[in-house]
Amino acid sequence: MRWKLIVEENMQQRTRNQAATSAANLRLAQQDMELLRKDKELATTFTNGTISVIVLLLLVLALIVNSYFSKQRKNKEISQKNAKLEHLVKEKEWLLQEVHHRVKNNLQTVVSLLESQSGYLNEATEAITESRNRVYAMSLIHQKLYRTTNVSTINMAAYLPELVEHLRSSFASTHIYFDVQVSPVEVDVSQAIPLGLILNETITNCLKYAFPHPRPDSRIRVWLQPLASREVELLIADNGVGIPATGAGKGLGLKLIHGLADEIDGNLSITNDQGACVRLVFTPTLQLQLERVAAGQLV
């Protein structure tokens, strides 16, 4: 009987142990399932995040590619427009050079006609010579313009000395020394022509009246220099007899000089200082435009 009780107790103990083991296994299984669920959630979250990042990267890449091609199209359009503008500018420069070339040829034709006509009009030879020199002063400007790429300005250092040399040979004044000092000042065509005519009239008057009797120290000085005030000074002086007080300003040449000086808004003074002295101070048109741009007056 006692043995039977012992067997029953063992059986109950074994049953309790099996139940405890089963409960522990169940808890482990539940923990494993919870871990698997969490791993699955993490994997899902990681996958969704990865997909989101990839989509975002694809969108950024698409925007970059679109921006690149858009910029390429705009650059191509800008290049085409610049090429057209450059072509138009070159065409305009060529047309201006052609215009200056034709004007120069026409003025040279006028000079040739005046030269041929002077042979038949002895009394008017002097007037024709002066008119021819005036025309030459203008034609030389157009000649300089069509021979250079800059068709709007004249370099005075290249223009004035050549004009002085032409006047010297025109009057056969080999006994007169010319002191010519001209700085390389760029002047607009609208000012270059009046300046050339002023020089022509002044030197013509010097050659005609300053030296009635040849002398070894005869001298004509031609200076053109920039001043500190951004203005430019043109000085033409001789050491001759000077301008008579009774005839000052009455000749055609002096009237032309005054009118041309007013045309370029220049400050003109004509004095006698050991000879005649013509001084003209003016502001180059290019400098005026720069000052107006700086002041906001030009667009």
DSSP 275: S
Q: What is the pTM of this model?
A: 0.59
pLDDT of residue 299: 39
pLDDT of residue 91: 65
Radius of gyration of the chain from its Cα atoms, rounded to whole angstroms: 49
> Beta-carbon neighbour count of residue 190 at 10 Å?
11
pLDDT of residue 182: 93
Across the chain, what does the average pLDDT equal? 77
Query: What is the CATH T-level fold of the domain 152-299, as seen in this structure?
Result: Heat Shock Protein 90 (3.30.565)
pLDDT of residue 7: 64
Helix or strand holding residue 263 (H, E): helix 252-263
What phi and psi values does residue 248 have, to the nearest 5 degrees? -65, 125
Mean pLDDT to the nearest integer, 69-90: 80
Domain ranges of the chain: 83-151, 152-299
Report pLDDT digits (tens) over 229-257.
789 999 999 988 888 766 544 566 788 88
Q: 């969704």: which residue's tokens?
A: 48
Report pLDDT digits (tens) over 258-293.
988 998 889 999 888 888 999 999 998 765 555 544
Report pLDDT digits (tens) over 197-221.
899 889 888 888 888 887 888 899 9
Q: Residues 238, 219: contact at Cβ < 8 Å?
A: yes
* Alpha carbon distance 299, 289 (integer Å): 10
> In this predicted structure, which of 80-84, 109-113, 172-176, 216-220 has the lowest mean pLDDT?
109-113
pLDDT of residue 293: 47
Q: Residues 240, 211: contact at Cβ < 8 Å?
A: yes
